[in-house]
A = this chain, B = another copy of it.
Amino acid sequence: MPSVIPIAVLGCGRIGRMHARVLARHPGAHLVAVYDLIPEAAAETSRELGVRAAAGVAEVLGDNSIAAVLIATPTSTHVDLIIAAARAGKAVLCEKPIDLDIARVLECEAAIRDLSGTVMIGFNRRFDPSFRALRERLQAGEIGRVEQVIITSRDPSPPPATYVAASGGLFRDMTIHDFDMARFLVGDIAEVHAIGAVLVDPGIGEAGDIDSAMIILRSRAGALVHINNSRRCAYGYDQRLEVFGSGGMLLAGNRHATTVQSFGSNHTGAADVVLPFFIERYAEAYSAEIAHFLDCVSSGATPMTSFADGVEALRIADAAQESLRTGIPVHLDKCT
């Protein structure tokens, strides 16, 4: 593998464009082409970054000068694209979730099992410098054995009803990040208790989904994990971790645009609102994610967020969905 990886981006929506910009600046990557089903979207990114707009997926996968693809297309296309790209010998970085249907995900796993290239799933939060440092400090034993975790994850504002309808539901769409974070912090999960509510937007309820949730997980090792979600948060994108152990506690908090604090006749020490949403909040994480992917492509190492991690997060999401439906906890089999 060359030390500068020639790469193409499939999908030029908000997140694809963001990845394309990171790749265009990254010294370890050479952004060769971008593609989108909507030609105008690809053309816009092409103009912005001065890279080729490919006419189709086939053009990208057939281009032997391209070593890797980043898949940021709609979820329903992920499995086909992963398989096709892997078969074409391309390394793959695919946005989460792999698919909304675990059966298709397992088919995909089977289809690529014997292929040798890197396949990585975009769980960006594992690459956040603060979350990563927190985990390293856990592993160094700073707070002893991990007993309880609280993951707070609240989006700034609800998505449109059309998005909700195709999203697979809150757990597969949004909480899946938190399920992966739980595994990052406490390992595999044995038990899932999910409680949901429609508190934010009745339209979400009419679309058959929930917009607020509280979940408790029990890890195989015995730790308890609480996740809370909301589709709307007045003070911005709320993303926090609290890890409680036998010897203390570690927190990782939100990020602010500045360090300015304000004192007046009604308040003291008021900070800025938190960074608005994932593009800003996880800017450093997305860069680190790309860097990790490029490293894995070069070195052949297994990514920190592997295909198997994508499978496990979806299994937990499915269990949560079942727990929500039945009103009782779901026990997960050992992953195979």
Contacts and interface: CB of A to CB of B under 8 A. Distances in A.
Interface of A: 25, 129-130, 133-134, 137, 142-145, 147-148, 150, 152, 154, 191, 193, 195, 197, 199-200, 212-214, 216, 218, 222-224, 226, 228, 230, 232-236, 238, 244-274, 327-329
5 contacts: A130-B259, A147-B212, A234-B248, A249-B263, A250-B262
Identical copies of this chain, number: 4
Given A235-B268, A263-B250, A150 B150 contact: yes
Given A216-B193, A235-B264, A253 B249 contact: no
B269 A271 contact: yes
Contact of A134 (B256, B260, B266): B260
Given A228-B244, A235-B265, 19 more contacts: A129-B258, A134-B260, A137-B262, A148-B212, A193-B195, A197-B218, A214-B224, A232-B246, A233-B244, A234-B247, A235-B248, A235-B267, A252-B259, A252-B261, A265-B273, A267-B270, A268-B272, A270-B271, A328-B329
A234 B150 CA distance: 17
A247 B233 CA distance: 8
